[in-house]
């Protein structure tokens, strides 16, 4: 594809993600409830929410998920996201580096993420069609601590210029075997089911980002870019973030990042209680950055951390292992989902 069109697409994604942003998400966190504990017998300062993702230690179990890079405007956003990550101690992922692998001029729009977050955790990001050489180059470009490989069939198929061939599994297996940083296989908002997770585990994948339905919706975004909305019927496609978490519980050896429609610390706490090691957010952070500014967005994410500590205190859980032992109440709809999918909770 023409490189200037590719860069333009990156700008359109930012604008359209914001156009379709809604304050309430359909990720189904509202269909889960914690049980309040009146006598938690801990103090807020006892709470330690540090977490482990493969070999990586994260001070904070929240991360800024993959969004952008590839055009001058998105290079500025990556610089902002890098500074926000550094100020909040959160890991941050780059948007797909595909364009920078084809055009060296685009590289600075990605490296601004690392330059502004020299000591933090930065994850590189490529599509699942790239080979081992490209994967290594993407990691090296950002001195990345991990590589995300996104799997985005629904987005590609709705995108007029998107891929139509999806033989990815062997390629992902080769990258996992060849890289010396952890590899995370990541959905982009359509969720993952047991069948997918089993296939990934079979080829040696240990880390996944479930990227569930309910937040940023790439069917809406790509449909809008088509200027014809004939694929609108796919806009509820996929498993919600909560459904994906329930699916992933059946593969306890996989470590999970939960992303998709996270809007507030209570959503994050529920995702962590359902088994996520880390909770990611993209659309909400972008919305804050566009509607307010970098300082306000940094403050929001620091507030999320205090909010998470507050919820863990209410539950009497001093760490994430204890939080994972909390049993949530599921709505009848989620119970029905578990029954039909034969998921145990």
Ligand X SMILES: Cc1cc2nc3c(=O)[nH]c(=O)nc-3n(C[C@H](O)[C@H](O)[C@H](O)COP(=O)(O)O)c2cc1C
Among 6, 13, 83, 270, binds ligand X (CB under 6 A): 13
Site string for ligand X, 150-169 (x = CB under 6 A): x-------------------
Binding status of residue 283 toward ligand X by CB under 6 A: yes
Residue nearest to ligand X (CB): 215
> Which contacts qualify for 308-311: CB closer than 8 Å, 24 or more apart?
308/49, 308/61, 308/62, 308/265, 308/268, 308/269, 308/272, 309/44, 309/47, 309/49, 310/44, 310/265, 311/34, 311/265, 311/266, 311/269
Q: Does 128 bind ligand X (CB under 6 A)?
A: no
DSSP state of 131: -
Give start and end residues of each alpha helix (H) in 26-146. Answer: 72-88, 98-102, 108-115, 132-142
Q: Judged by CB under 6 A, does residue 96 bind ligand X?
A: yes
The residue range among 44-52, 129-137, 156-164, 253-261 that interacts with ligand X, by the rule CB under 6 A, is: 253-261
Does the footprint of ligand X cover residue 239 (CB under 6 A)?
Answer: no
Rounded to the nearest whole angstrom, what is the least distance from the CB of residue 67 to ligand X in the complex?
4
Q: Does 68 bind ligand X (CB under 6 A)?
A: yes
213-236 burial code (b ≥16 CB/10 A, e <16): bbbbbbbbbbbbeeeeeebeebbe
CB of 6 to ligand X, least distance (A): 12
Residues annotated within a binding site for Mg(2+): 156
DSSP 240: B
Output 47 or 266, the one with its CB closest to ligand X: 266
Name the minimum Å distance from CB 282 to ligand X: 3
CA separation for the pair 250, 265 (Å, rounded): 25
Residue 232 is classified by DSSP as G
Q: Which residues are annotated as a binding site for FMN?
A: 66-68, 96, 125, 186, 216, 261-263, 282-283
Binding of residue 211 to ligand X (CB under 6 A): yes
Residue 260 is a binding residue for ligand X (CB under 6 A):
yes
Half-sphere exposure of 57 (CA within 13 A, CB side): 3
Nearest to 95 by CA among 74, 125, 73: 125
**268 forms part of the interface with ligand X (CB under 6 A):** no
Q: Is 125 in the site for ligand X (CB under 6 A)?
A: yes
d(CA 163, CA 152): 10
By CB under 6 A, residue 66 contacts ligand X? yes
Neighbouring C-beta atoms of residue 89, cutoff 10 Å: 16
Residue 67 within binding range of ligand X, rule CB under 6 A: yes
Binding-site residue ranges:
9-10, 66-68, 96, 125, 155-156, 186, 216, 261-263, 282-283
Q: Given the complex with ligand X, which of 259 and 313 has the nearer CB atom?
A: 259
The yes or no reply on residue 216 touching ligand X (CB under 6 A) is yes
Q: Is 186 in the site for ligand X (CB under 6 A)?
A: yes
CA dihedral 53, 58, 62, 64 (to 10 degrees): -90
- Pick between residue 31 and residue 284 the one whose CB is nearest to ligand X: 284
Which listed residue (75, 120, 261, 275) binds ligand X by CB under 6 A?
A: 261
Q: Which residue ranges make up the site for ligand X (CB under 6 A)?
A: 13-14, 17, 65-68, 95-96, 125, 148, 150, 186, 188-189, 211, 215-216, 259-262, 281-284, 286
């Amino acid at each position: 594809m023409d490189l200037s069109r590719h860069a333009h697409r990156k700008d359109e994604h930012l604008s359209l993600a914001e156009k379709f942003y809604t304050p309430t998400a359909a990720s189904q966190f509202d269909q889960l409830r914690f049980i309040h504990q009146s006598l938690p017998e801990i103090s807020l300062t006892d709470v330690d929410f540090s977490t482990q993702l493969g070999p990586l230690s994260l001070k904070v179990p929240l991360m800024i998920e993959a969004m952008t890079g590839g055009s001058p405007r998105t290079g500025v956003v990556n610089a902002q996201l890098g500074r926000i990550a550094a100020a909040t101690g959160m890991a941050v992922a780059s948007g797909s580096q595909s364009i920078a692998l084809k055009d060296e001029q685009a590289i600075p729009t990605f490296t601004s993420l690392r330059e502004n977050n020299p000591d933090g955790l930065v994850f590189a990001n490529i599509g699942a069609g790239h080979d081992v050489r490209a994967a290594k180059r993407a990691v090296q470009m950002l001195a990345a601590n991990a590589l995300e490989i996104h799997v985005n069939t629904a987005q590609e198929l709705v995108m007029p210029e998107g891929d139509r061939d999806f033989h990815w599994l062997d390629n992902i297996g080769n990258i996992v075997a060849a890289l010396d940083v952890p590899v995370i296989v990541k959905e982009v908002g359509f969720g993952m089911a047991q069948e997918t997770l089993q296939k990934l585990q079979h080829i040696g994948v240990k880390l996944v980002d479930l990227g569930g339905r309910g937040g940023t919706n790439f069917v809406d975004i790509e449909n809008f870019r088509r200027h014809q909305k004939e694929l609108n019927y796919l806009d509820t496609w996929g498993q919600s973030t909560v459904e994906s978490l329930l699916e992933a519980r059946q593969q306890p050896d996989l470590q999970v990042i939960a992303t998709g429609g996270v809007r507030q610390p209570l959503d994050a706490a529920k995702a962590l209680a359902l088994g996520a090691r880390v909770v990611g957010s993209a659309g909400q952070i972008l919305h804050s950055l566009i509607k307010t500014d970098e300082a306000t967005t940094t403050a929001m994410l620091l507030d999320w951390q205090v909010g998470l500590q507050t919820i863990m205190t209410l539950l009497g859980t001093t760490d994430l292992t204890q939080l994972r032992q909390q049993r949530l109440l599921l709505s009848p709809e989620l119970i029905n989902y578990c029954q039909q999918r034969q998921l145990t909770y």
